[in-house]
Structure 1
């Protein structure tokens, strides 16, 4: 097969650096530079191996690329019937990531085991550096104001221009990667926290290189443990309730598979208890994010039948979402747009009109539906929602073929977040949705768009 002669894209260190630079500019919300870097990556992908037409042909015969492309096209279809062509075009333009990022993965071999490990550590260190930067700025602001709010939730990440919940998604993915076998130190004994001690390792030790290898493994193990603890603490400060619950589930799942992740049961159990206890303290004591947890105990149905609110009405996050979703139903009914939607150019304007009619001035204009499924339904109708669900079904099928814990949890976190946020409307989560489900799948074949089984077998044996 042609792909057998295809050198994995990330084997080139320059390309690996470019991929990390794209993630870095996404996290820091440098979107103009981010767009230029993505275009540069596409050019590099096309000229890699000097077979641009072959790259295009491989992508357009890959069902996973076509799944992402279909989501983009259903958004672009709104250009045909929108009342605000400019706004609709800007929305379509912002969705180009749905085509560009999957093209990188689906146009040839993207990475091998070594490249994946290098990306894993590069990504985790990049994210840790970003988190430390946020904490350093928060510390400076605390010194100026004495206000502890700067260490929690949105104030913590506003310096990089990213929603705290969206940043939490990146942190959860980093934890999943660190808990995967790919992050475990190579060689050594499973009991000691390393990988499988094979014959090759024993020969290296016999030749006098075992000491250096063991020191390197020990450094890797310490770095891994430190990053897991740091990211767990960062998740608590970011205070995303949904993703904190998922984090506890991830730790409990790994508790039953501790041999797989080369961590002791006490280490995983300790992390789980720490996250639960600290989250409980935040929920039950006076602190800057107490209000977020108390939202869960409010009567979320008290405004269920109202259509006009007093200026001093107080809404929880759940109440606001329920109202937004009710407005979505009203918009589709009034516009007779259940089949193809009202287009991306008109949906936000119609929602803003609902806010004003309900006397909700405290909700800033541009506040979207906070649910990607509802967002697509209003913009592209039942037709668009069916396309989106079909694309998710393709990703479920890809994840099933991958067969790894991190692949399932990455996809699950994407789907859960899409139920409470319009994840394709911001570059941070749009990029994550396009990049990480394909990255954890590693390598796609040209003909069927499925995983190479040999990769799963070799990873299972730690080779």
Structure 2
């Protein structure tokens, strides 16, 4: 009974993340209770802490916690550490969960797929009502689309939809409806349309790359049905045409194409300095390097609670836009470095960066065999690229999602190793 509840709650973790952080927090607490109530708690805990794949999670969290010792803003540091607690809690819980087995990735992916489809559907209904009231088409695009899902950031929402696309076929055994080709085909089209509306350049390019890979695979694999290449070719052309003919998406790609990299050489800026997403992130990377160099903080970082205040100081010093009192905004104040590798280095130094890279390398080496292997490797590539443009473990919808799926896949790889050694 308890293990059955654990399996349902495991699938409920990614499902609830699609809707709100509060709902996800409740599901996580119930999952904690279900794991604790399973038999032989001390024995399961001892076995869990001996699993090698748990070590990089624990090392990363421990190094972040240690940097509290030299943090001036202790209150903010504790807030950040609380947000990142899933980095330690979820791997340990999943390692202790006796119900996690080879079928768990399919159940987790089914929960993610259900959450993405229902969440995206609700967003489109909400946007449709808004469009009828205002006549403004922008409500269907980018950050505006995820607004009804507790302000779901467009990049994170895109990451979820892309992961659901990757995992859809190998998860088909988790539920009867996923075994239906018509449902899977409709889900692929719906998720791809959601990616187009969210207009994340990174995940649109990754989706095109994934569809091209599937097209090449179907052309090279003579055992596949004859219609497979045609289906993937239609998907590639449809998504590419959607990017080109959807004005909002085309404009976002055009902005990057016409980037003014000369602004990166400036020492002082004004409120109307022309930035786009790429040049702004490159500037933040430069500011992070300047912070580490100026304070000689490569080994220890600034402290987990002080990275934000250092970023704010650099923004003011370089006269980046930091708010207009008449508009009541704060400009770039409060932003992070929009690069997880840099964020960790500024927070806790090079040891934390090394632990993060260790985690990614171990995840890559733990890629499961069979149908899950390529989708998981695509997922990891997407995660690494996403971490280069965003602080992916600086908010709940990032840290829980990443810790959850990495832990599930890394644990089933351990089961696969045991099975191979017994044969």
What's the counterpart of residue 356 of structure 2?
Answer: 388
User: Structure 1's 19 and 306: CA in aligned 2 closer, same or farther, altered over 3 A?
Assistant: same
Computing the radius of gyration over CA atoms, which structure comes out larger, 1 or 2? 1
- 1:114 offset after TM fit, Å? 4.9
- Structure 1 residues 269 and 301: CA distance shift in structure 2, 3 A: same
- Compute the displacement of 1:385 (Å): 1.1
Q: Where does residue 326 of structure 2 map in the other structure?
A: none
Post-superposition offset of 1:401? 6.2
- Distance in 2 (CA, whole Å) between partners of 1:179 and 1:361 is 46
> Which of 363, 368, 391 is matched with 1:422 structurally?
391
Q: Is the 8 Å Cα contact of residues 38 and 100 (structure 1) preserved in structure 2?
A: no
Q: How does 1:130-209 map to 2 (within 5 A)?
A: 130-160=119-149, 161-180=151-170, 182-183=171-172
Structure 2 residue runs without a partner (length 5+): 323-330
Counterpart of 1:22 (choices 4, 7, 13) is: 13
For residue 261 of structure 1, report the CA deviation from its aligned partner.
8.5
Note if contact 1:109-1:444 (Cα within 8 Å) is conserved in structure 2: no
Distance 2:143 2:224 in 1: 32
Output the CA distance in 1 between the equivalents of 2:111 and 2:407. 17
Q: Does 1:124 align with 2:113?
A: yes
Deviation string, structure 1 residues 245-271 (Cα, Å, up to 9, x no partner): 111111122223346987722111111
1:301-360 CA distance string (max 9 Å, x none)? 211221111222121111111111111111112222111100111111011111112222
- Pick closer, same or farther for the CA change 1:310–1:126 going to 2, 3 Å: closer
**Higher mean Cα deviation, 395-404 or 158-167?**
395-404
More deviation, 84-93/216-225: 216-225
Question: What is aligned with 1:91?
Answer: 80
Superposition pairs of residues 42-81 of structure 1, within 5 angstroms: 42-48=32-38, 50-81=39-70
Report how many residues are paired. Answer: 408
1:47-446 maps to which residues of 2 (within 5 A)?
47-48=37-38, 50-114=39-103, 116-160=105-149, 161-180=151-170, 182-183=171-172, 220-258=180-218, 264-282=228-246, 287-361=247-321, 363-399=331-367, 404-441=373-410, 443-445=412-414
RMSD: 2.7
Range that drifts further, 357-366 or 412-421: 357-366
Distance 2:345 2:174 in 1: 46
Cα-to-partner distance string for 1:171-204 (whole Å, 9 max, x where unaligned): 1111111133x42799xxxxxxxxxxxxxxxxxx
Q: Indicate the SS of the match to 1:173.
A: helix
CA pair 167-217 structure 1, distance change in 2 beyond 3 A: closer
How much does 1:137 deviate? 0.5
Q: Say which is worse superposed, 34-43 or 383-392, in terms of deviation.
A: 34-43
2:199/2:248 contact within 8 Å kept: no
TM-score (norm: length of structure 1): 0.81
Length-normalised TM-score, structure 2: 0.89
Q: Within 2, Cα distance between the matches of 1:239 and 1:255?
A: 23
Alignment partners' CA distance in 2, 1:425 and 1:217? 35
1:323 aligned counterpart, secondary structure = helix
Question: Deviation at 1:434?
Answer: 0.7
Question: Any idea what the Cα deviations from partners look like across 1:335-393, whole Å, max 9, x if unmatched?
Answer: 22111100111111011111112222253321110000000111111122112111211
Instruction: Quickly say closer, same or farther: Cα 1:24–1:401, change in 2 above 3 A.
Output: closer
Equivalences for residues 30-41 of structure 1 within 5 A: 30-31=21-22, 33-41=23-31
Q: Give secondary structure in 2 for the equivalent of 1:423.
A: coil
Q: Which residue of 1 aligns with 2:325?
A: none
Rate the CA distance shift 1:385–1:296 in 2: closer, same or farther, 3 A: same
Shift of 1:123: 2.9
Work out whether residues 90 and 407 of structure 2, in 8 Å CA contact, stay in contact via their aligned partners in 1. no
